[in-house]
Amino acid sequence: MRLHTFLTMGLAALLAMALTAPVSAQNGRNNEKGKDRSIRGRIEVRINTHTEVTPDETRVFDSWFGGQVRGYDAIDEDTGERLDSLIHIVQDVQGNQLMVSSRHRHQAMIQLTKRTRVIFQEITPSWTPPGFNRGQRQHGGNFVAERIRPGDLVILEGIMTGHGDLLATQIRVVGHAWGWFDDDDDYYGPVNYGNRAWGEVRQVDGRRNSVEVRANIGYITLTLSREGKVLYKGREYRITNLEQGDRVVFYYERNRDNNNRSIEAYRIVALEGNDNYPRGDERHWADPSGYDRGDDRDDRDQYRNAGDWVEGSLDYIDIGVTFNKLVLRVQRGQPSVFYLSKTMSIIDEDGSRISIRDLRDGEKLRVYYTEMDGNYYATHVMAQ
């Protein structure tokens, strides 16, 4: 293996459309394979909207927040305080403002300016729930708000405004909440799905951050997904650290195009000199933990190994301040109340993402979840 030595551092219009179109499009798309989710086709589910934090939400939040900062028990070198007493969790990003939560305040507004400095200071906690991967965050973005995402664990520095908001001068991103998902957050759950292929690197393109690979599935261009990893002997490298002649095994969800010539991998493992390629569908040492091979899985299929789940019919929804809540009718003895991050979407029948408000009364759902202190936090929700 020849790798470099450095490491990875108008409502009216909508109503008219719904009444005139044969099948209305939800969120600007046709839902041909799924249920009719238009205004005409929807049976309204009971939705309770809370504008203030309820006692139940307070209890659930305290438990959830405690689990998120668990393991951040070291002393912060900059302040001399324990990390878990300093950490805030980003709930939402709205233009030049962040909505954050802390152990003592469920919701606070943070103001950003062009001078707000963002530092990515990944700190590995001493504990993470089994099966979850906190991973490393993409650091891109031209503006401050583009570099912060819901679920980020941050330490804030700044000055208080006359309205009682914090004007941030510096934001340190120290990690990411486990089991917290928005539309771009799937990496932080179990990563053990997709397709596997292998081959020899023939060319490295540093400008495009890609490599040409003569693989068992043909000659392809291989790139790395956001937060993807290139591994050699258990250590992480950049994709451009690979060189011609290196032999790799790579894992991916789907192809970028229809010609199978460009693939985005979420995991690339470089083999040592005497290592063999995988044989068919047999288990290989380079496979991620719990890996289950699949062919071109979509957003629904990839979650089948994502841990505990329950199926039931939708009873009602609570829209809260810090969490949303789904209540299901389930079999006796199964959990029925699930709390969702505010930014989580629902996976529709055709693999598309929809809002929680688009669900219908009595709709059958599968909820993947993790349990903490007797509370059940949804990691993925799929309409059946």
Cα separation of 378 and 317, whole Å?
A: 13
Residue 45 has, within 13 A of its CA and on its CB side, a CA count of 24
Q: pLDDT for 42-60, tens place per residue?
A: 557 888 988 888 899 889 9
Cα separation of 177 and 175, whole Å?
A: 7
Does 2.40.50.320 match the CATH number of domain 195-296? yes
Model confidence band, residue 180 (pLDDT cutoffs 50, 70, 90): low
User: Is the pLDDT higher at 175 or at 343?
Assistant: 175
Is the per-residue pLDDT at 241 higher than 90?
yes
When pLDDT is averaged across residues 115-126 and rounded to a whole number, the result is 86
Q: What's the pLDDT at 257?
A: 45
Delimiting residues of CATH 2.40.50.320 domain(s) in the chain: 195-296
pTM: 0.57
Tell me the residue length of the chain: 384
Cα separation of 172 and 116, whole Å?
A: 11
Q: What's the pLDDT at 169?
A: 94
Q: Which 3 state secondary structure label does DSSP give 212?
A: strand
Is the per-residue pLDDT at 99 higher than 70?
yes
Distance between alpha carbon 202 and the CA centroid of its chain, in Å? Answer: 32
